[in-house]
Chains A and B, each alone.
Chain A
Amino acid sequence: MDPTEIVAEPGPPPGGGPSAAPAVRLRRAVALLGSFPALAGVDLEVDRQEIVLLRGPNGAGKTTLLRTLAGLVPVTQGEATVLGIDLVRDYKAVRPRVGLLGHATGLYDELTVADNVRFWCRAARARAVDADAAMVRLGLDGRLRNVAVGRLSAGQRRRTSLACLVARRPELWLLDEPHAGLDQEGRDLVDHLVRDATAAGATVVMSSHELDRAVALADRTVTVTGGTTEDDARPPVPGPAEIPEGQESTDVA
């Protein structure tokens, strides 16, 4: 991982209009957890600046799908391109450009909110101003700033985690149950953040069981079951999608 590469990357992509290659393109992607195929041939296409909701029962593979898109789980079969990076060839390269909000918060309990946000922010080579702005945005300024994360409520931890993500300005937001554990105001805030991010050029893929809220927020819903996907809006038969395939692969290459 070349640090200089990372420096150049945060921030919205240049000219990330709909004409650019899709942010996410999976074709029959298989990802293994141990020897278990958590993803058993997923087809998924997400355009830039789109908000896609993943729904499906527990254990369907939503979390693994998000982790795969984040470059944490290698793709063993099929094709997978995220932000123009071929995950089959190098699944790690995409990491600095995505932000993942998982079930686990990835925070250090003994450090304060400000310590945590600043550390992860500096790790991603983001600016300190952004860290402060993110904390203000998430309502973590004032008293909470200097409270150890271990003393926070679940919702406040979630907000801290979100602040880290916002400060990094990822191009692709991967949100695993972003509404869980948050109060009414917090959920509204998540929706605002998501809309602002897409307006600024980012793409969002999220899973949620808060269907009313999430469906209203999302441009499109994709159902995940048994490690595969069924697109609710687009025809799942790859007939029409096959036509731009050659075109896109030349774009990517």
Chain B
Amino acid sequence: MTTQSNATTSRPGGATAPEAGPTSTGSKATRALGILALAAVALLVLLGLWWTPADVIQNESVRILYVHVPAATLAYLGCFLTSLGSLMYLWKKSRWWELVGYAAAEIAAIFTAVTLVTGMLWGRPTWGVFWVWDARLTSTAMLMLLLLGYLAVRRLPADYHVRAQRASIIGLLLVPNVIIVRQSVQWWRTLHQEASLFADGPGATIEGIMLFTLVFGFVTFQLIFAWLLVHRFRLAWLEEQVAGQGLTAAIAERRAEGRSASGAAPAPIAPPPAVPSELVHRASTTGPEVAS
């Protein structure tokens, strides 16, 4: 299996994008992105809370949808990225893609949580209850559980490749699972009641500035998503690099352990003292060669 060599060779290529400073996950571009996202959030708050009118049917609660709908959409995008990243890891052994998938899964989990909470807050005044067994609500809850399963596995302590391997198989199955769950839940509900409660919700009835606000909500959440993704990815990348950097030192240390052991012991098989240092020397010369 060529796991190791491929992973190391993919590193320089993959590293071009995330070459951040060694102590920071930020850069000029991400700061600009962050400021843009903040400005967009401020504008969305103004649009959503003051500049748009209340809905004829849903009254003030319609304002939640400017957050709810974009968050839900991006949660699904995050899921898709996780599956894509997992696929690329299993296929090309791309560490870069794997970390993108992992970062996307965490953000997708947060966005799913936002979706569920805002959905329930919207549901209380609209339906009079926090929860109904609506097809979308139910499948979003299932999506959350699937994401939590992925993250639970991804975070189990183990060697990077072990973690990545395990999580990637679950990550790859995430999208098919989401599709099957959605399909089954949809059939399940539509058999019992009329179409989804959201059918006369957003999009269908709203227009003008309300439609603009909803679209602007998408843009805002995309900015937030991108900003979070870049930072989370870089953090994960740096974490893995810290773990990987110790290798050369760890090898030297391990060898020194042997040298001191055979030196300290009365040595029934006393080795010539020059030999181990010679070996260490050879190891240190091969180090950069292998890494390059």
* A/B contact in complex, CB under 8 angstroms: yes
When the two chains form the complex, which single residue of B5, B256, B269 contacts A230, counting CB atoms closer than 8 Å?
A: B269
Q: Which residues of B contact A236 (CB under 8 A)?
A: 271-272, 275, 279
Question: Is A187 part of the contact surface with B, judged by Cβ < 8 Å?
Answer: no
**A74, B4: Cβ atoms under 8 Å?**
yes
**A57, B250: Cβ atoms under 8 Å?**
no
Question: Is A32 part of the contact surface with B, judged by Cβ < 8 Å?
Answer: yes
Q: How many residues of B contact A (CB 8 A)?
A: 34
CB distance from B50 to the nearest CB of A (A): 54
**B159, A228: Cβ atoms under 8 Å?**
no
**B3, A223: Cβ atoms under 8 Å?**
no
When the two chains form the complex, which single residue of B5, B159, B255 contacts A226, counting CB atoms closer than 8 Å?
A: B255
Knowing A37-B250, A228-B276, A228-B279, say if A89 contacts B258 (CB, 8 Å).
no
CA distance A225 to B1 in the complex (A): 28
**A40, B251: Cβ atoms under 8 Å?**
yes
Q: Which residues of B contact A221 (CB under 8 A)?
A: 269
Interface bin, chain A: 20 to 34
**B246, A227: Cβ atoms under 8 Å?**
no
Query: C-beta contact mask, B221-253 vs A, less than 8 Å → 1, else 0?
Result: 000000000000000000000011011001110
Query: C-beta contact mask, A26-38 vs B, less than 8 Å → 1, else 0?
Result: 0010101011111
Q: Chain B: which residue is nearest A230 at the CB level?
A: B271
**A91, B1: Cβ atoms under 8 Å?**
yes
Scan residues 242-292 of chain B and give those whose CB is less than 8 A from a CB of chain A: 243-244, 246-247, 250-252, 254-262, 269, 271-272, 275-276, 278-279, 282-283, 286, 290
**B251, A41: Cβ atoms under 8 Å?**
yes
**B247, A226: Cβ atoms under 8 Å?**
no
**A41, B283: Cβ atoms under 8 Å?**
yes
**A225, B286: Cβ atoms under 8 Å?**
no
Q: Which has the most chain A C-beta neighbours within 10 Å: B246, B254, B272, B282?
A: B254
Q: Which residues of A contact B247 (CB under 8 A)?
A: 32, 35, 37
Question: Is B204 part of the contact surface with A, judged by Cβ < 8 Å?
Answer: no
Q: Which residues of B contact A (CB under 8 A)?
A: 1-5, 158-159, 243-244, 246-247, 250-252, 254-262, 269, 271-272, 275-276, 278-279, 282-283, 286, 290
Known: A230-B269, A237-B275. 20 other contacts (CB 8 A): A35-B159, A35-B243, A35-B247, A36-B254, A38-B254, A40-B283, A41-B255, A76-B4, A77-B286, A90-B2, A223-B269, A225-B257, A225-B259, A225-B261, A226-B261, A227-B251, A227-B255, A236-B271, A236-B275, A237-B278
